[in-house]
Amino acid sequence: MLECKEGRLLRRNKGGSTTMKINVLLCDDEKDFLQRLTETITQQPLPEGTSVAVTKNSHSTSLSDRDLSQYQIMFLDIDMPERSGMDIARRVRELYLDTIIIFVTNYPQFSLEGYEVRAFRYLLKQEMEQKLPVYFRDALAEISRGEKGLHFSVNAESYYVPYGDIIYMGCDQRVIYLYTVTPRQNGDHFYGKMEDLARELEPEGFLRIQKSYLVNMAHIKKLNYDRVILSNGKELSVSRKGYSQIKIQYLAWKNRQWRTSQ
């Protein structure tokens, strides 16, 4: 654990974990159903150490990229007229977010488009009371199994950023700065050592391309001997002295990703 005046990196240990806060978005243009959905979810039991914050939205066009990046679970009405749940889900994936998406619909037909956006479940509105408790419990379990992210605190307030949201991290005089898919208003830096951070995050798909930069390999668009181009268009310099090893690490990671996708 790295202590500092303004903030610290919170590390998990084998015997326990930090408190996990899950943000849930409910988006449906039928306000009566949206209220029923909200009440049903807030009544669900939660695992120990878990808290849930629910946001309901009946105007899907108002959701910005910054808004979308805040949620770990989304219940999306697939049939909204101006901006459908499918439109929102596509944007979520374009932002490289690992959000669990549950489509809500009046129709029993299964949409093949769901595969495109990796939909977790389809919930028929007429079966909400029966099926939602199971789907919600499964979603929480999925997050617990796959929850991987950076935990840190700033001024005694805890923050969690999923690894998939982090494009890269930079270090300046022991201050670690986070550069994410959508810019963060708060919790965008903490004190720490890049050496310690690299040791902890390299097994999770991060690559130290030089002394001051740790990049998420999932966001690398192109790696050259002198620079790397990231998914947000940012170009960072690469250590020429260490390029050979950097390239080996990156190609090994890409090979693992290819094998797991087969």
Question: Is the pLDDT reported for residue 165 higher than 90?
Answer: no
Long-range contacts of 171-175 (CB under 8 A, 24+ apart): 171/211, 171/212, 171/213, 171/214, 172/212
The pLDDT confidence band at residue 156, using thresholds 50, 70 and 90, is low
Instruction: Kindly report which listed range (7-11, 17-21, 124-128) carries the lowest average pLDDT score.
Output: 7-11
Q: Residue 261: its pLDDT value, please? A: 54
Average pLDDT score over residue span 218-244 = 94
Q: Phi/psi at 181 (nearest 5 deg)?
A: -55, -45
The pLDDT confidence band at residue 240, using thresholds 50, 70 and 90, is very high
Q: Which residues pair with 95 in a beta bridge?
A: none
Question: Is the pLDDT reported for residue 11 higher than 70?
Answer: no
The pLDDT confidence band at residue 235, using thresholds 50, 70 and 90, is very high
CA distance 124 to 260: 32
Q: Residue 163: its pLDDT value, please? A: 86
Q: Residue 1: its pLDDT value, please? A: 28
- Which domains can be identified in the chain, with CATH numbers? 20-146 (3.40.50.2300), 149-261 (2.40.50.1020)
**What burial letters (b/e) apply to 229-240, b meaning 16+ CB within 10 Å?**
ebeeeeebebbe
Q: Residue 81: its pLDDT value, please? A: 86
Range list of β-strands (E), the chain: 7-10, 20-27, 50-57, 73-77, 100-105, 121-124, 149-154, 157-162, 166-172, 175-180, 189-191, 206-210, 213-216, 220-223, 227-230, 235-237
Encode pLDDT of 95-144 as tens digits. 878 899 999 988 766 555 677 788 888 899 999 999 999 999 999 888 87
| Single pTM value for the model | 0.57
What is the residue-averaged pLDDT of the chain? 84
